[in-house]
Every structure is written in structure tokens, then in C-alpha cells.
Copies of this chain bind each other. A is one copy, B any other.
Amino acid sequence: MKKILGTTLTLLGLTVFGQAKEDSIQFAKISTEILNKGKAYNELRELTKNIGHRLSGSASYEKAVTWAEQKLRDAGADKVWLQEVMVPVWVRGKESLQIKTSGGKWKSLKMLSLGNSEGTGGKDVSGEIIMVRSMEEYDKLSPEQVKDKIVFFNYPFSQTYIETFRGYGDAAKYRSTAASLTAKKGGKFAIIRSLSSAFDDVPHTGSMRYQDDKKIPAVAVGSTTADELAELLKSQKITAKLNSNCGMKGEKLSHSVIGEITGKKDKSVIVVGGHLDSWDVGEGAHDDGSGIVQSIEVLRTFKNLGIQNNHTIRVVCFANEENGVKGGVMYGKTVKENNEKHLFAIETDAGGFTPRGISLEMDNEKRKQIQSWADLFLPYGVYDFKNTYSGTDLYPLHDLGIPTAELVPDSQRYFDIHHTEEDTFEKVNRRELLLGASTLTQIIYMIDKNW
């Protein structure tokens, strides 16, 4: 196809070299503009420090909506609007987890209830802890062994995978299913070892899901607490006591924020986006404040460099990725209903770390075409086009047959801080954040030009 044509032209000594050179010059312009004049880092400071974390349904999320609207206008969007969507309202409230050995005193543990979990309704719920190291171990337990117990799923995050998203994927089922599995055998609540690549005492929240109506609580503890608990359980019985107010409090009208620059040739759409909501701890800096400010930077860069976009470049700041994906689903639904042609959609929701690649979820022909541009990206440290997943918010678009993608930043540090108090602005490096924005702008420039 394109590539063969290119090769042929090269053999003929024709203009393909000029073409590649033109693209290469444009790539350098984009990178130079963003590294020197990018505003993403300062905007991230505003979002994280002035607004902070912003769970769906919270007042701070609504502040973030107003903020994002303004930032899209400032960046030069031709059109900015809010897309209505009903989101779940989950509230943490007060929570405490204590343990005691027989004859010992109660000792508080650092913990976080898992997102979407029901609490104890403000009452103490206690029982003896039994620990399992894996699903296989849990499956062997009889209901008699689990009845009235607290099940502690102490499954460690695998350090072996090079891409930490694989370690996360491997452990994710413990977070999502621990409560329902425990309830099925009559346990009182579940404790999980956090999905964390770090060896520290930072608990990680994140969404869980009930499989039925037996809604018992699930909480997470940090790696060192998990290790200490395991050590104690070797020699003695431990009682745990949970008291928490968390729970789902219905739904609320909320919004995704959308801004675009209109296509000069046609109105077909190229989407770049991240999610505006975050968990209710830390500042949602890497997850996914970074993705929001990077996406806005793409739009600003097209405007500032005066790049004539053939197609509409649209930034979508999705609502409610963390505990419902209602924003992503609503966006997909609207695209379908309006029969709105989309060429390509890319999400950035893997942290504001130094970019290494782009993951491509699309047919083989389109993937190969993008891979044929790899040499243009290589000078920017972006070499990895092998992955075939895309962002959570984009699955509804993928289901409509739209080619989707995700920025692949370096993953080593992400799961140290993901969904924790530690996901703060200070953990984001300015140049790394801006380089990610540059990669996004470059791929969108190529798609806009060639598709």
C-alpha cells in the first residue's frame, strides 16, 4: 500500500524523501514548540493544586469541568461544549481498620476502602482474619472455613513483567472480585494487598464490582502492612475490626468536557482525550490530570503552529472513567446516534511519564501504516508500536469499528503511586509530560494528513 508506494517512489528517486523530510521538520517544530512553550505543566499545577482530586459526583469534579472548559477556550478551540452524563456517586466517608492479637490491644492499619465498595454503615464489624496467597488457595476453602471470617487476599504484584501494566492486569481480579468471592462463602469483609509495585505502606484504592446483592466491604492495605500481617498470622490468630461509612449514593448529572478545532477539509473527527475525574485521594496528577493537560496541549499546538488541520481535532475530557466509564460510554453512544464520522481516537491515561510508544487497536492495514512512520518518531524516544490495546474510555468507539490507540509512557513508576495519596503534581516531571504531549501531537498530525 502506502509503504510499497513509498519504497517504489524512493527507487524512482521521486518525492518521497521530500515528503519524509517535510514530516520530520514538522515533528521537530512540534517538539520544539511544546518543550519550550508548552503550558501543560503549569495547567497540571492548577488542576492538581487549585482543584485537587475530583471523584465523579463531587463538587471538585464540577470545578474541574469549569476549569477544563476555560482551558480549552484559552487553547484556541473553535467550539467548546459539555456532554451530559449521569454518573454514580460513591462517597468514602470515615473509615478505620484495626487488628488485634488475642490478649493484645487494637492497632490501626493504614487502609483505603476500595472504590464502589459498601461500608459497615458506621458500625464495627469484626472477625478472625484468614489469609490466602492466591485465587487457587481461596477456591480450596470451604464455606465453613470462610463463614464469619475476614478474608485477606495477599496476592503480590508481580515484579517480573517489564511493562508494569501486565503485573497490574495479573493482580486486578483480586481488587474487583475479593468482596463478592468472600461474601459467597459467608465471610464478613475482604482485605486485599494493594495493587502496588512499591514496597511501602501506601494503600491503593481503585474500583471493585459486586457480582450479586451480597454487598460486603472490601478494603486495601499497603505492601508492608500486608507483609507484617502475613508474618503475624504465621504464629497467632488475628482479629480485624472495620468501621466505615462508604457507599454508593445514587447518581448525579455530570459532564464530559469537549473542545475542537474544526476541520478545514471535512468534519470527520480525530479524538485525543483523557479522563477528568480521579479517585478521591491524592491529586489525580498522573491519573489522569496528565492526560487532560496533554490533550489540551495538542489542540493548542495545532493552533500556535498554524497547522492546517484537514479534519476536526477534538479533545475529549471524559467524565467518570474511574468508577463507571459513563463518560466514555455516553460519548460512544452520541457518536453512534449522530452517525458522526470518526477517523481515529487516542487516549492518554497511563501517566505523564516519558513516552515510549503508541498502542494501536485497529485493523492490520492501518496498524502497519502507522508502524511505517516509526522512523519519524524514533528521534523522540518513541519506538514501541507493538501493543494492541487502547484506552478504557475508547472501547465504545472501538466497538463502532473506529481505530483507537493509547499513548504508551514508561510504566516503571506508575503503580507505585496509582490511586493513592502519593499521586501528586510533584511526581510529574515537566519534560516527560511535555514529551508525551509532543508524541500525541505528532501522531495526530500524521493521521490528519494521511487519512
* A36 touching B432 in the complex, CB below 8 Å, given contacts A381-B356, A410-B354: no
Of residues 428 through 451 on chain A, the ones whose CB sits less than 8 Å from some CB of chain B are 429-432, 435
Q: What 1/0 flags go to A207-247 for Cβ under 8 Å of B?
A: 00000000000000000000000000000000000000000
Residues B162 and A435 in contact, CB atoms below 8 Å apart:
yes
Q: What 1/0 flags go to A155-188 for Cβ under 8 Å of B?
A: 0000110101000000000000000000000000
Residues B430 and A198 in contact, CB atoms below 8 Å apart:
yes
Of residues 48 through 69 on chain A, the ones whose CB sits less than 8 Å from some CB of chain B are none
Residues A416 and B435 in contact, CB atoms below 8 Å apart:
no
Q: State the Cβ distance, A191 to closest chain B Cβ, in Å.
A: 24
The listed residue with most B CB atoms (<10 A of its CB), out of A198, A199, A429, is: A429
Residues B429 and A379 in contact, CB atoms below 8 Å apart:
no
Q: State the Cβ distance, A283 to closest chain B Cβ, in Å.
A: 18
A335 an interface residue at 8 Å Cβ cutoff?
no
Residues B431 and A354 in contact, CB atoms below 8 Å apart:
no
Residues A162 and B31 in contact, CB atoms below 8 Å apart:
yes
Of residues 372 through 386 on chain A, the ones whose CB sits less than 8 Å from some CB of chain B are 379-381, 383-384
The listed residue with most B CB atoms (<10 A of its CB), out of A159, A413, A429, is: A159
Task: Give Cα A77 to B164, complex, Å.
Answer: 32
Task: Give Cα A36 to B199, complex, Å.
Answer: 12
Q: State the Cβ distance, A202 to closest chain B Cβ, in Å.
A: 14
Task: Give Cα A113 to B308, complex, Å.
Answer: 50
A254 an interface residue at 8 Å Cβ cutoff?
no
Task: Give Cα A356 to B356, complex, Å.
Answer: 9
Of residues 281 through 301 on chain A, the ones whose CB sits less than 8 Å from some CB of chain B are none
Residues B410 and A164 in contact, CB atoms below 8 Å apart:
no
Of residues 310 through 331 on chain A, the ones whose CB sits less than 8 Å from some CB of chain B are none
Q: State the Cβ distance, A160 to closest chain B Cβ, in Å.
A: 5
Q: State the Cβ distance, A278 to closest chain B Cβ, in Å.
A: 22
Task: Give Cα A431 to B197, complex, Å.
Answer: 8
* A35 touching B431 in the complex, CB below 8 Å, given contacts A356-B381, A410-B381: no
Q: Which residue of B lies closest to A438 (CB)?
A: B162
Residues A381 and B429 in contact, CB atoms below 8 Å apart:
no
Of residues 389 through 428 on chain A, the ones whose CB sits less than 8 Å from some CB of chain B are 410, 412-413, 416
Contact of A383 among B354, B383, B416 (CB under 8 A): B383
Residues B159 and A35 in contact, CB atoms below 8 Å apart:
yes
Residues A431 and B164 in contact, CB atoms below 8 Å apart:
yes
A388 an interface residue at 8 Å Cβ cutoff?
no
Residues A162 and B198 in contact, CB atoms below 8 Å apart:
no
Query: Which residues of chain B are within 8 angstroms of A383 by Cβ–Cβ distance?
Result: 383-384
Q: State the Cβ distance, A166 to closest chain B Cβ, in Å.
A: 12
Q: What 1/0 flags go to A19-62 for Cβ under 8 Å of B?
A: 00000000000011001100000000000000000000000000
Query: Which residues of chain B are within 8 angstroms of A160 by Cβ–Cβ distance?
Result: 31-32, 35-36
The listed residue with most B CB atoms (<10 A of its CB), out of A36, A381, A416, A429, is: A381
Q: State the Cβ distance, A429 to closest chain B Cβ, in Å.
A: 5
Please give 19 more A-B residue pairs, beta carbons under 8 A apart, in addition to A35-B160, A412-B435, A413-B429.
Answer: A36-B159, A36-B160, A159-B431, A162-B379, A162-B380, A162-B381, A197-B431, A354-B410, A354-B412, A356-B381, A381-B384, A381-B410, A383-B383, A410-B410, A412-B429, A412-B431, A412-B432, A413-B431, A416-B429
By a beta-carbon cutoff of 8 Å, the part of chain A in contact with chain B is 31-32, 35-36, 159-160, 162, 164, 197-199, 354, 356, 379-381, 383-384, 410, 412-413, 416, 429-432, 435
User: Which 5 A-B residue pairs are closest in the complex by CB-CB distance?
Assistant: A412-B431, A35-B159, A412-B432, A383-B383, A354-B412
28 contacts between A and B (CB under 8 A): A31-B160, A32-B160, A35-B159, A35-B160, A36-B159, A36-B160, A159-B431, A162-B379, A162-B380, A162-B381, A162-B435, A164-B431, A197-B431, A198-B430, A199-B430, A354-B354, A354-B410, A356-B381, A381-B384, A381-B410, A383-B383, A383-B384, A412-B429, A412-B431, A412-B435, A413-B429, A413-B431, A413-B432
